[in-house]
Amino acid sequence: MSRPTGRVLILLELLQSGGTRTVAELADRLGVEGRTVRRYVDQLIDLDVPVESVRGRYGGYRLAPGYRLPPLMFSDDEALAVLLGLIAGRRSGLTTTERTAGETASAKIRRVLPGHIARRLDTLLEALAFTDRPGDLDAPDAEVLLTLADAVRHHRPVSIRYTDRGGRRSERTLHPYGIVAHSGRWYVTGRDARAGEDRTFRLDRVADARTLPGSFEAPVGTDPAQRVLSGFATAGYRHEVTLRIHGTVEQLRGHLPASVARLEECAPVAGEDAASGRWLRVELRAERLDWLPPLLASLNRPFVIERPGELRDLVVALADRLASHARQA
């Protein structure tokens, strides 16, 4: 590659980093004079790269949106970052049903990586372990995802075809507030117009999404992520559990995240010292209770089980087993 051609490619890389670059700045980075920068810009334009000239005190050159994507220039670290992002997204389930798009993109970048960077990537992948298995979770359709994202941005209602966990199919009109990625799955939260209630839907269960005429107003202060987490914490499960635990929200959230439990301060009951610190009421729902006694023991904080009685029995049984093991030791 000749030196002038190399400088033209460096110029393209500089422009791709965004914003407007002055002639003086570009000349300094390329080690040439201003008129040479202008000649290099003309060469890019001849190659159909959409370079705009910006006039004024802070003028210079910038890339304009074009009907064709110009050649992308990545540094070694940028190429490695993109590859790792694609790999991590695929392994964590945060991909669409068009899985081949991520795979072909990875292959294209991998093909042009310098040998020493490719070896670094291979070394990292050999040392990297994931706690989940790839392909365990169903991915959403790319067109559904993009349609819903556009509806969220422009406050447009959408019609969706949805299959619930019981296999029942329905068509709903949704006023979408936001799209949330949580634990390897995609969700959309919004107002179900027919039911008149806020709902959360798994995107991999949405077969089709169509934008409808009109618009809607989202509630003030809408936090889609918090709505999804609150929905998990209040979903219907086999057991409803209520506890009182001595501590602060910060101390408990590491063990009981918002997706698992609702926390609120409560007044101490008779026999409890009000001056000893805060008590929190903890409410959660669970299909099984066997994971709760070890968790409560790990808190190392005073707690009171209000319901269900079955949980009290499990805690007592765990305490008896631990005491028995300690005596045997």
Are 256 and 284 in contact, with CB atoms under 8 Å apart? yes
3-63 and 142-222 share one CATH topology? no
The tokens describing 26, both together, are 């570009």
CATH of 142-222, one of 2.30.30.520, 3.30.230.70, 1.10.730.10, 3.40.50.920: 2.30.30.520
Beta bridge partners of 208: 161
The tokens describing 302, both together, are 């005073």
Task: Choose among 182, 298, 166, 288: nearest CA to 237.
Answer: 288
Q: Distance between CA atoms of 131 and 128, rounded to whole angstroms? A: 10
Q: Between 100 and 62, where is the model more confident?
A: 62
Mean per-residue pLDDT, 299-316: 91
Mean per-residue pLDDT, 36-52: 88
Question: What is this structure's pTM?
Answer: 0.51
List pLDDT tens digits, range 317-328: 999 888 888 877
Rounded to the nearest 5°, which phi and psi values hold at 63? -85, 135
- Would you kindly state where each structural domain of the chain is located, as residue ranges? 3-63, 76-127, 142-222, 236-328
Task: Choose among 233, 229, 231, 232: nearest CA to 283.
Answer: 233
Mean per-residue pLDDT, 97-115: 70
> One-letter amino acid identity for 41?
V
Q: Mean pLDDT, the chain, as a whole number? A: 81
The secondary structure of residue 201, as a DSSP letter, is: E
Mean per-residue pLDDT, 101-125: 75
What per-residue confidence (pLDDT) applies to 1? 42
Least confident of 157-161, 223-227, 290-294, 312-316: 223-227
Q: Distance between CA atoms of 43 and 49, rounded to whole angstroms? A: 9
Domain 236-328 classification at class level = alpha beta
List pLDDT tens digits, range 136-155: 556 778 788 888 988 998 99
* Domain spanning 3-63, CATH architecture: Orthogonal Bundle (1.10)
